[in-house]
Amino acid sequence: MFIIENYQTAVWFCIVTMLCWGSWANTQKLAESSWRFELFYWDYVIGILLASLIFAFTLGSYGEGGRSFLEDLKQADNDSIRSAIIGGVFFNLANILLVAAIAIAGMSVAFPVGIGLALVVGVIVNYLDAPVGNQLYLFSGVLLVVLAIILNAKAYKNTDSGTSGLSTKGLVLSIVAGLLMGFFYKYVANSMFPDFENPIPGKLSPYTAVLIFAIGIFASNFIFNTFLMRKPFVGEPVSFSDYFKGISRNHLMGVLGGMIWCLGMSFSIIASGKAGPAISYGLGQGATVIAAIWGIYIWKEFKNASKSTHNLLKIMLLCYVAGLALIIIAR
């Protein structure tokens, strides 16, 4: 299988993760005018599963290092498989709430609050499991991210829409999604052997772990998303027949969004071998900056906000960038 050889390459892989995780939601924005997020999400999950299969049979099956995908899958023990599946269930519950928050409050709120909070929880949880990196730099970066979350929430509440019950629901969903999402990466990391060049019997390679993680997402979606289709946060219930009435463009947007996200996840997991899970996860969650830029400057989600609110958003972005820089040098 393909293995990263040095920390510098791992950082570049994390940057790709950041771009993917911060940009996939544009596909939802492109489809949302005629397509409910609950229907979009089925294609999104299918896209994650397809991309994980592609990675398993390409990068996961070629190269001299580690263990090839099929060989790795055959020897996997139940504990490792269970851990990766639990990670998928945690992620799916968190992410479907995040997608709901994007539909209600927009990318420039759901990502900085939800994913920013997930970064804080995830870095702490993953660091306790695998303490890699300078504590002072790592947790100073986390504190700056916390400040950025507070500033973003403040900017959101300063807008006219921020006083409505609907938008408050979007903010609450973002917070719950972030708290849940901070835990999924730990379970995936625990399912793998830490040194990718030296496989451990029963443990998974990063490529096998991502595929089983994706299966956990797909299987749990029949519970979580089916429930939301019947009891939506906003609007009337939708049915599976509505899904099959969708046009090709909307289905394509969902699948593309899932594949983009899975590319980021795969690169993050591959990079964790050299960067450590806490740093790899933390850098990937720099997606908050990318998503906020998309939401603020491309989708104009704060176009009617005051000058002081825009100043808060600028400071928020600076705090995120500074926090991410500290997380990078923590290694």
- Predicted pLDDT at 45: 97
- Which residue is listed with tokens 């969903």? 173
Q: How would you write 222-272 as a 3-class SS string?
A: HHHHHHHHHCCCCCCCCCHHHHHCCCHHHHHHHHHHHHHHHHHHHHHHHHH
Alpha-carbon distances, residue 126 vs 85, 211, 244 (angstroms): 17, 20, 40
Helix 116-129 to helix 277-284 angle (10° resolution) is: 170
Beta-bridge mates of residue 192: 204
Q: In sequence order, which residues have a C-beta less than 8 Å from that of residue 116 and are 6 or more positions away?
A: 145, 146, 148, 149, 152, 178, 285, 288, 320
Beta-bridge mates of residue 89: none
If DSSP codes are grouped into helix, strand and coil, which group holds residue 16? helix
Q: Are 258 and 47 in contact (CB under 8 A)?
A: yes
- Which residue is listed with tokens 């290092």? 65
Q: Are 307 and 161 in contact (CB under 8 A)?
A: no
Grouped pLDDT means (10 residues each) for the chain, 331 residues? 91 92 90 87 97 97 89 96 97 93 82 84 85 88 86 75 62 90 92 91 96 98 96 92 94 97 94 84 80 84 84 90 86 72
Choose among 302, 92, 278: nearest CA to 177: 92
Distance CA 85, CA 220 (A): 9
Our measurement of the distance from residue 44's CA atom to the centroid of its chain's CA atoms, rounded to an integer in Å, reads 13
Q: Are 141 and 302 in contact (CB under 8 A)?
A: no
Distance CA 320, CA 283 (A): 11
Identify the burial level of 62 via C-beta atoms within 10 angstroms of its C-beta, where 0-12 means exposed, 13-18 middle and 19 or more buried.
Answer: exposed
Distance CA 7, CA 15 (A): 12
What are the residue ranges of helices labelled H in the chain? 7-23, 25-31, 37-57, 69-75, 78-105, 107-110, 116-129, 135-158, 165-181, 184-190, 206-230, 240-244, 248-275, 277-284, 287-293, 307-329
Our measurement of the distance from residue 109's CA atom to the centroid of its chain's CA atoms, rounded to an integer in Å, reads 15
Distance CA 247, CA 261 (A): 22
- Predicted pLDDT at 163: 45
Domain ranges of the chain: 7-329
Q: In sequence order, which residues have a C-beta less than 8 Å from that of residue 230 and are 6 or more positions away?
A: 237
- Predicted pLDDT at 162: 46
Query: What's the one-letter identity of residue 137?
Result: Y
